[in-house]
Amino acid sequence: MIELQIELGDRSYPVRVGAGARHHLLDVLPIGVRRAAIVTQEAVGVTVDPGVEHRTFTIPDGEDHKHLGTVEDLCRDFARWGLTRGDVVVAVGGGLVTDLAGFAAAIFHRGVPVVHVATTLLAQIDAAIGGKTGVNLPEGKNLVGAFWQPAAVLCDTETLATLPPREYRNGLGEMAKYAFLGVDGLRDLSLDEAVAACVRCKAEVVASDEREGGRRAILNYGHTLGHALETASAYDLRHGEAVAIGLVYAAEVALRLGRIDAARVVEHRRTVAAYDLPMTLPPGIEPSELVELFGRDKKAVDGLTFVLDGPAGVEPVRVADRALLLDALEAVR
């Protein structure tokens, strides 16, 4: 088992990565916890034993259930069971479950501790780490949420063996991102080591900027187009697939701004291709619609902010040139 630590002062927490990590749940529960509300989905099929009185709450499958109505239903179930701040929420599943259950934990009784048992590659290397929780609005992805750090995260790599291939590829989109955030040689590592290397990278970024005042935005590399594509495709494209296209697009934008050269764009394309991920827009999506959606991105505080590669590495950059953005979209069409 590889043990890492997210260093956030008195809100620091451990992340355990390895086959069978889910069996460590009792070890990482906050001290004195009375009961555990396990939140999962039917399709996850992973059972955990918190070693204290518990009840399982099942939320529906599918991104179209990641909305405030599901959070309300869950909170009402918590209330009927009598969940208190002396208890714990245990989210068992992928990013949808950890985002939604984490958000319910953040707001129920103004904050109940949460432990994430991440069962997908995407959740293990991204969603479950760093305290971002939330749900979608019809207007865009993850537009409502809260920062709510978990008490611990268990990344059980055994659960990845039975993931449907498309769900596994969903995580590879995020893994490809880390290759541009300074994590070298990912493809040569064992699965446990690769997951741990991504978590280590994210841990360092989150510790330096927990609430995304600046640097944490680099974790959104590839996500501006990625989120727009998810919304425009009505979530037909999976997050990691959309991010993969977004990585290539971000390189094309950076090229047009003179921040990187053509060889670096080729490196982006090669990395995405090596993970067998898509690099072009799906048919039927209009570039002008995507540019409109860029403006709804949470990073768009002042005009359009992209995360772009450049001489100093990946960083947030304001891009005002709509024609340049449209031209770069043609390169991924």
Binding site for ligand GLY (CB under 6 A): 126, 130, 132, 216, 219-220
Q: Is there a catalytic annotation at residue 204?
A: no
How many other CB atoms are found less than 10 A from the CB of residue 213? 9
Q: Is there a catalytic annotation at residue 212?
A: yes
Contact at 8 Å (CB) between 92 and 40?
yes
State how far the Cα of 4 lies from the Cα of 153, in Å rounded to an integer.
10
Q: Is there a catalytic annotation at residue 268?
A: no
Q: Own/partner pairs for 63-68, CB < 8 Å, 24+ apart?
A: 63/96, 63/136, 63/230, 63/235, 64/235, 65/96, 66/96, 66/99, 66/100, 66/135, 66/136, 67/135, 67/136, 67/137, 68/135, 68/137, 68/144
Query: Catalytic one among 16, 24, 66, 132?
Result: 132
In the complex, minimum distance from the CB of residue 126 to ligand GLY, in angstroms, rounded to a whole number: 5
Residue type, 259: R
Q: Is there a catalytic annotation at residue 286?
A: no
Query: Catalytic one among 200, 220, 238, 298?
Result: 220
Nearest residue to 230 (alpha-carbon basis) of 84, 63, 34: 63
In the complex, minimum distance from the CB of residue 301 to ligand GLY, in angstroms, rounded to a whole number: 15
Q: Is there a catalytic annotation at residue 63?
A: no
Query: Catalytic one among 66, 116, 238, 239?
Result: 239
Q: Is there a catalytic annotation at residue 216?
A: yes
Q: Own/partner pairs for 64-68, CB < 8 Å, 24+ apart?
A: 64/235, 65/96, 66/96, 66/99, 66/100, 66/135, 66/136, 67/135, 67/136, 67/137, 68/135, 68/137, 68/144
Which residues make Cβ contacts (< 8 Å) with residue 277, sequence separation at least 6? Answer: 169, 172, 173, 176, 240, 241, 244
Q: Is there a catalytic annotation at residue 202?
A: yes
Query: Catalytic one among 22, 24, 202, 298?
Result: 202
In the complex, minimum distance from the CB of residue 130 to ligand GLY, in angstroms, rounded to a whole number: 4
Query: Catalytic one among 66, 223, 238, 268?
Result: 223
Q: Is there a catalytic annotation at residue 66?
A: no
In the complex, minimum distance from the CB of residue 183 to ligand GLY, in angstroms, rounded to a whole number: 15
Q: Is there a catalytic annotation at residue 177?
A: no
Q: Between 22 and 216, name the residue whose CB sits nearer to ligand GLY.
A: 216
Q: Between 29 and 151, name the residue whose CB sits nearer to ligand GLY.
A: 151
In the complex, minimum distance from the CB of residue 207 to ligand GLY, in angstroms, rounded to a whole number: 12
By annotation, the residues acting in catalysis are: 110, 132, 174, 202, 212, 216, 220, 223, 227, 239
